[in-house]
């Protein structure tokens, strides 16, 4: 269903088009003059505007200019009984999709409307496709025969037919986005959009406008109306990665969407209804975040209707040979014939891979395999090509070996001192660049900055 604005100073024409297009399954808003039409476009985002050219006051050309300024993605069709070649050329230059002469044939009008909406749909689909392609870059493949992974596969099959919210948890690099895609593409929504949002990659204000869209003039730089990602995901799935990075204020807005299936754009006054399957993911323990006051408990329970936990690679090491074989083939496809002869890894090298604890999980394994493939001149990858940190036994152990003395310990003080030390060392290693230091510790910039402030900015 598309939202269409019909603009004509003749009530009979407005009523005729409204009845015709409502029967076609569209949502129709009418305006009796150009001024009303411009106000409507300022207040709402339409997929299509059909406007008469000759009207008292603001005419159709003014409506066209305003639409293209306020909402550039909206398609505009001009209708007139007083056609001139010059006017038609001008309208097309400004951005009109078509210029129709009265009297027109109903079937012809329906065809033009359907074609214009199809064009808009394809444009939106192309944008989503580009996001999808970008989201796949460098992402670990979803493979595993281990018992923990078989449980994950079973859960995916069970939940794919539901619209209940799903919360995917697991360490970074375990494949949370691929689980979300598996749920989507095995569901009745598989032909709808799949939209990925990294909540930790954007500051709060930008994330809010990206998720919910905005109206022209809502803030500095909002030069036109823009639909948000929730609207882009309508009738499909939205994947909210790093949900723990959202602020309490934004969490309230997300809670409303989950409860009411409705939201308001930034700077908007009208509610926007959406039918979206929400899947969220976090590499942090959200119950701990709730205890710290950083995450809303009511939002957690709304998201955690169906929990899926992804085990770290060190807990499913029997999958390493299968993953390694897959990544070897993947690099061959990526590099082409130049690397095609590299196809195997010897037993000693595989033993080292199996013994390593893989803090970066499947993503780290994929990067390691690619590096060894590129650096190995022979047909077989041997232990010499395995990075030192992987084949050195000490790296397979836990990073700390701690003993509790008979007198006990002050755990809170110990944890604070440890955290402060790591923050300081990360800053030193990153040359004082906080964004780089945050990456070294696997934190978002917002979380890193918050921790710094806790200790007086070190």
How far, in Å, are 36, 66, 77 from residue 56 at the CA level?
Answer: 12, 16, 19
CB-CB contact of 21 with 113 (8 Å):
yes
Task: Give 93-137 pLDDT, tens digit per residue.
Answer: 899 999 888 888 899 899 999 888 887 877 776 666 555 544 443
- Which tokens sit at 23? 């029967």
CB-CB contact of 320 with 179 (8 Å):
no
> Taking the domains of the chain in order of start, what are their residue ranges?
3-122, 144-311, 314-396, 411-454
pLDDT in tens, the chain (458 residues): 789 999 999 999 999 999 999 999 999 999 999 999 999 999 888 999 999 999 988 999 999 999 999 988 899 999 988 767 788 888 888 999 998 888 888 998 999 998 888 878 777 766 665 555 444 433 334 678 888 888 888 888 888 888 899 999 999 889 899 899 989 988 899 888 999 999 988 888 889 999 999 988 888 888 888 889 999 999 999 999 999 999 999 999 999 999 999 999 998 888 899 999 999 999 999 998 999 899 999 999 999 999 999 999 998 999 999 999 888 888 877 766 554 565 789 999 999 999 898 989 999 999 999 999 888 888 899 999 999 889 875 444 445 545 666 666 677 777 887 888 888 888 888 888 888 888 888 888 888 888 888 877 66
- Which tokens sit at 402? 């701690």
Element (H, E) at 272: strand 271-273
Indicate the SS3 state at residue 95.
coil
Residues near 96 by Cβ (< 8 Å), separated by ≥ 6?
64, 76, 77, 78
Instruction: Give the β-pairing of 271-273 and 262-264.
Output: antiparallel
State the Cα–Cα distance between residues 121 and 191, nearest whole angstrom.
13
State the Cα–Cα distance between residues 417 and 455, nearest whole angstrom.
10
Assigned architecture for domain 144-311 = 3-Layer(aba) Sandwich (3.40)
State the Cα–Cα distance between residues 437 and 361, nearest whole angstrom.
20
Task: Give 332-360 pLDDT, tens digit per residue.
Answer: 777 665 545 657 899 999 999 998 989 89
> Helix 11-23 and helix 106-136: axis angle, to 10°?
50
The CATH number, out of the four listed (1.10.10.10, 2.40.50.140, 3.40.50.300, 1.10.10.60), of the domain defined by the range 411-454: 1.10.10.60
- Please provide the CATH number assigned to the domain covering 3-122: 3.40.50.2300
Q: What is the DSSP string of 47-91?
A: SEEEEES--SSS-HHHHHHHHHHH-TTSEEEEEESS--HHHHHHH
State the Cα–Cα distance between residues 38 and 41, nearest whole angstrom.
5
How much is the pTM? Answer: 0.63
Can 144-311 and 411-454 be said to share one CATH topology?
A: no
Residues near 345 by Cβ (< 8 Å), separated by ≥ 6?
324, 328, 353, 372, 380, 381
Element (H, E) at 6: strand 3-7
The CATH number, out of the four listed (3.60.15.10, 3.90.180.10, 1.10.8.60, 3.30.70.920), of the domain defined by the range 314-396: 1.10.8.60
- Give me the residue label for tokens 């005419």: 59
């Amino acid at each position: 269903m598309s939202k269409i604005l019909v603009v004509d100073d003749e009530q009979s024409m407005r009523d005729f088009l409204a009845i015709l297009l409502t029967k076609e399954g569209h949502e129709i808003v009418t305006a009796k003059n150009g001024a009303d039409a411009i106000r409507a476009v300022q207040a709402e985002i339409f997929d299509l505007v059909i406007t008469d050219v000759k009207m008292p006051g603001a005419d159709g050309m003014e409506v066209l200019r305003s639409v293209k300024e306020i909402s550039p993605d909206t398609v505009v069709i001009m209708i007139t009984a007083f056609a001139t070649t010059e006017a038609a050329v001008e309208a097309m230059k400004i951005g009109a999709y078509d210029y129709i002469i009265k009297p027109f044939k109903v079937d012809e009008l329906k065809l033009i409307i359907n074609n214009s909406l199809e064009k808009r749909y394809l444009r939106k689909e192309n944008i989503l496709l580009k996001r999808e392609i970008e989201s796949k870059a460098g992402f670990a493949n979803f493979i595993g025969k281990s018992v923990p992974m078989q449980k994950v596969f079973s859960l995916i099959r069970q939940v794919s037919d539901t619209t209940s919210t799903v919360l995917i948890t697991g360490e970074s690099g375990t494949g949370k986005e691929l689980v979300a895609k598996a749920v989507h593409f095995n569901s009745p929504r598989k032909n709808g959009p799949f939209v990925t949002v990294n909540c930790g990659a954007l500051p709060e204000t930008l994330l809010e406008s990206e998720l919910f869209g905005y109206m022209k003039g809502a803030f500095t730089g909002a030069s036109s109306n823009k639909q948000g990602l929730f609207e882009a995901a309508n009738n499909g799935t939205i994947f909210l990665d790093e949900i723990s990075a959202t602020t309490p204020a934004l969490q309230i807005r997300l809670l409303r969407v989950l409860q009411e299936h409705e939201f308001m754009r930034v700077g908007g006054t009208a509610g926007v209804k959406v039918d979206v399957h929400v899947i969220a993911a976090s590499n942090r323990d959200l119950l701990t975040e709730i205890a710290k006051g950083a995450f809303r408990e009511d939002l957690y329970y709304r998201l955690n209707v169906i929990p899926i936990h992804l085990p770290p690679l060190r807990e499913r090491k029997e999958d390493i040979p299968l993953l390694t074989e897959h990544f070897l083939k993947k690099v061959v496809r990526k590099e082409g014939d130049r690397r095609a002869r590299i196809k195997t890894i010897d037993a000693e090298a595989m033993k080292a891979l199996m013994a390593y604890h893989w803090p970066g999980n499947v993503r780290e394994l994929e990067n390691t395999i690619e590096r060894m493939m590129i650096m190995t001149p022979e047909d077989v990858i041997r232990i010499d090509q395995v990075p030192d940190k992987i084949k050195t036994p000490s790296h397979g152990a836990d990073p700390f070996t701690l003993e509790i003395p008979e007198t006990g310990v002050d755990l809170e003080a110990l944890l604070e001192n440890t955290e402060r030390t790591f923050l300081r060392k990360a800053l030193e290693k990153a040359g004082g660049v906080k964004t780089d230091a945050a990456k070294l510790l696997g934190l978002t910039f917002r979380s890193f900055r918050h921790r710094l402030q806790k200790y007086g900015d070190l």
